């Protein structure tokens, strides 16, 4: 490993995680470590979730898959687009496919941090302060129009999203596992919005722009969504325990040293790019690799290829980087910069190394000759 890559690994280690071992938060349910789900059950469960989402969200199968990827990677999802394209509908549908606790927070300018995290109330009969949990105490928290609240209220989610706990009046309270925040926001050019600060955006594993549906999907929507809400037909197809077992299975996906080095090289390239004022953080590389592991699991593999990193790189990194003003004036976008860096990074030898486990993983032998697929 060259000096640049060693420096990047040291930076990640200094953040409190061990990149070489891809340290992950331990998934627990009722205080016990979750047991990993076997491959057949994993495939069946993910198929049921995606099928249920796709019955409601027309023509957005890739967005549904990425939302499930973030859930299984123990991340948080940011849905950004103009009003009326199904951001909140996707968040609600994902939540309803799981038999777990769900809460929804409508972010408004007068929303207080205590409305999100909870508050200590004085009980006159016991003469003690009692903690009343806020809306964030749920397995899946839907934050609707998060950028319509003040920066003070937005910051109430920082500790929740990173440490899965809430601190109120000096006391810390653990959140239930699994825990995921699915937030929606309108573009910052729209009236009445407050842009999320960099530290807040960095807490979200991925950002999705829904976009408008194609013509056939929009016609199908007009035919099927008029009489009743499509959410009325959505039912839970997995339990919280199933999700915990699926997350545990994703954590066992193998990551070779070559893939780790490739991921670090990508992060270093964003920090050194003259087109960017702010590159990818160490936290973003950890989340990028977790998302790649979930992608590999959803594709039926128990090992990660550089292709998995490439396929989620834009969604994971684009909202975390800041363009140089000259680059922005020249028409560059965060997505175009990430694509350019990916196209310049060497991957052929990395791919061969990543698949060099044929003695213990027969499936990798077949993957070694496939070449890297670039789906931009």
pLDDT for residue 373 is more than 60? no
| Spatial distance between the Cα atoms of 64 and 54, rounded to a whole number of angstroms | 7
Residues 6+ apart with CB under 8 A from 267: 8, 279, 280, 282, 284, 285, 288
Mean pLDDT of 45-62: 89
DSSP-based three-state secondary structure for 144 = strand
Q: How many helices (H) and strands (E) does the chain have?
A: 17, 15
Residue given tokens 């989340």 in the structure block: 287
Of 103-112, 193-202, 264-273, 302-311, the least confident: 193-202
Per 3-state DSSP, the chain is made up of helix, strand and coil in percentages (nearest 5) of: 45, 15, 40
Of 202-216, 258-272, 307-321, 329-343, the least confident: 202-216
User: Of 253 and 3, which is predicted with more confidence?
Assistant: 253
Asked whether the beta carbons of 311 and 295 are under 8 A apart, the reply is yes
pLDDT for residue 215 is more than 90? no
Residues 6+ apart with CB under 8 A from 61: 50, 54
| Spatial distance between the Cα atoms of 153 and 200, rounded to a whole number of angstroms | 11
Mean pLDDT of 131-140: 93
User: Of 254 and 9, which is predicted with more confidence?
Assistant: 254
User: Whose CA is closest to 133, among 183, 168, 170?
Assistant: 168
| Spatial distance between the Cα atoms of 129 and 141, rounded to a whole number of angstroms | 26
User: What domains lie within the chain, and their CATH numbers?
Assistant: 1-22+255-376 (1.10.8.80), 53-252 (3.40.50.300)
Render 305-347 in DSSP notation, one character per residue: -HHHHHHHHHHHHTTT-EE-HHHHHTT--HHHHHHHHHHHS--
Render 44-69 in DSSP notation, one character per residue: HHHHHHHHHHHTTSTT-HHHHHHHHH
Provide the pLDDT confidence category of residue 78 given band limits of 50, 70 and 90.
very high
């Amino acid at each position: 490993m060259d000096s640049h890559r060693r420096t990047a690994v040291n930076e990640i280690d200094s953040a409190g995680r061990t990149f070489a071992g891809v340290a992950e938060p331990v998934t627990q349910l009722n205080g016990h470590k979750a047991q990993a789900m076997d491959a057949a059950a994993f495939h069946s469960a993910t198929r049921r979730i995606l099928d249920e989402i796709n019955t409601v969200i027309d023509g957005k199968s890739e967005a549904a898959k990425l939302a499930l990827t973030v859930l299984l990677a123990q991340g948080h999802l940011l849905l950004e687009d103009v009003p009326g394209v199904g951001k909140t509908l996707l968040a609600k549908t994902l939540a309803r496919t799981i038999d777990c606790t769900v809460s929804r927070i409508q972010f408004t300018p007068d929303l207080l941090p205590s409305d999100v995290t909870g508050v200590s109330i004085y009980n006159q009969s016991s003469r003690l302060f009692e903690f009343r949990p806020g809306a964030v105490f749920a397995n899946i928290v839907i934050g609707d129009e998060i950028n319509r609240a003040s920066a003070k209220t937005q910051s109430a989610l920082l500790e929740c999203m990173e440490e899965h706990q809430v601190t109120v009046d000096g006391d810390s309270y653990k959140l239930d596992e699994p825990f995921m925040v699915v937030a929606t926001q309108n573009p910052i050019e729209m009236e009445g919005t407050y842009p999320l600060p960099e530290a807040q955006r960095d807490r979200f594993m991925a950002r999705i722009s829904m976009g408008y549906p194609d013509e056939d999907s929009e016609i199908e929507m007009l035919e099927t969504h008029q009489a009743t809400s499509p959410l009325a037909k959505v039912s839970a197809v997995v339990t919280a325990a199933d999700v915990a077992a699926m997350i545990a299975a994703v954590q066992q996906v193998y990551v070779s040293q070559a893939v780790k080095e490739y991921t670090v090289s990508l992060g270093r390239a964003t920090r050194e790019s003259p087109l960017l004022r702010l590159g990818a953080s160490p936290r973003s590389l950890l989340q990028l690799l977790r998302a790649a592991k979930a992608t590999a699991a959803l594709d039926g593999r128990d090992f990660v290829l550089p292709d998995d990193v490439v396929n989620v790189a834009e969604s994971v990194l684009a909202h975390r980087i800041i363009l140089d003003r000259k680059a922005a004036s020249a028409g560059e976008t965060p997505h175009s910069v990430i694509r350019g860096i990916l196209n310049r990074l060497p991957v052929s030898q990395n791919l061969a190394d990543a698949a060099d486990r044929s003695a213990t993983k027969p499936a990798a032998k077949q993957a070694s000759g496939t070449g890297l697929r670039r789906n931009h």
